[in-house]
Structure 1
Amino acid sequence: MSWLKPVTLVGKNIKLEPLSLEHELALREAVCDGELWKLWYTFIPKPELIHSEIKRRLELQQRGSMLPFVVIEQHSGQILGMTSYMNVVAEHRRVEIGSTWYRQSVQRSAVNTEAKQLLLKHAFEILNCIAVEFRTSSFNLKSRAAIERLGAKLDGVLRSHQIVQDDILRDTYVYSILKNEWPAVQQNLTWKLEQSR
Structure 2
Amino acid sequence: MDELSARFADPVALSGSLVALEPLGAGHVEGLRRVVAEGELHRTWYTRVPAPQDVAAEVERRLALHARGAMAPWALRRLDTGEVCGATTFMNLDAANRRLEIGSTFLARSAQGTGVNAEAKLLLLARAFEELGCAAVELRTHWHNHQSRAAIARLGAKQDGVLRNHVLWHDGSYRDTVVFSILDGEWPAVRSGLRGRLAAR
Counterpart of 2:60 in 1: which secondary structure?
helix
Are residues 1:3 and 2:17 paired?
Answer: no
Are residues 1:16 and 2:33 paired?
Answer: no
Are residues 1:142 and 2:147 paired?
Answer: yes
2:117 to 104, 112, 118: 112
Runs of 4+ in 1 over 4 A off after TM superposition: none
- Following superposition, the deviation at residue 3 of structure 1 comes to 2.4
Contact 1:65 1:89 in 2 (8 A): no
- Aligned residue number for residue 156 of structure 1: 161
Counterpart of 2:6 in 1: which secondary structure?
coil
**1:105-135, Cα deviation, whole Å (9 max, x unpaired):** 1113311101000000010000011100000
- Following superposition, the deviation at residue 65 of structure 1 comes to 1.3
Q: Quick one: distance in 2 between partners of 1:119 and 1:158?
A: 25
Are residues 1:55 and 2:67 paired?
Answer: no
The number of residue pairs the alignment matches comes to 196
- Following superposition, the deviation at residue 177 of structure 1 comes to 0.2
Q: Quick one: distance in 2 between partners of 1:142 and 1:104?
A: 13
Q: Quick one: distance in 2 between partners of 1:166 and 1:27?
A: 24
Q: Quick one: distance in 1 between partners of 2:25 and 2:122?
A: 22
What residue ranges of structure 2 are gaps of 5+ in the alignment?
Answer: none
Matches within 5 A, 1:23-102: 23-102=28-107
Counterpart of 1:70 in 2: which secondary structure?
strand
Q: Quick one: distance in 1 between partners of 2:18 and 2:112?
A: 15
Q: Quick one: distance in 2 between partners of 1:135 and 1:6?
A: 20
Counterpart of 2:89 in 1: which secondary structure?
strand
What residue ranges of structure 1 are gaps of 5+ in the alignment?
Answer: none
Contact 1:40 1:164 in 2 (8 A): no
Seq. identity, %: 48
- Following superposition, the deviation at residue 58 of structure 1 comes to 0.5
Contact 1:17 1:71 in 2 (8 A): yes
Q: TM-score, normalising length from structure 2?
A: 0.95
- Following superposition, the deviation at residue 163 of structure 1 comes to 1.3
**1:70-101, Cα deviation, whole Å (9 max, x unpaired):** 11011321000001000101111111001011
Contact 1:11 1:114 in 2 (8 A): yes
Counterpart of 2:7 in 1: which secondary structure?
coil
- Aligned residue number for residue 133 of structure 1: 138
RMSD of aligned alpha carbons: 0.9
Give the counterpart letter for 2:160 in structure 1: D
Q: Quick one: distance in 1 between partners of 2:111 and 2:77?
A: 11
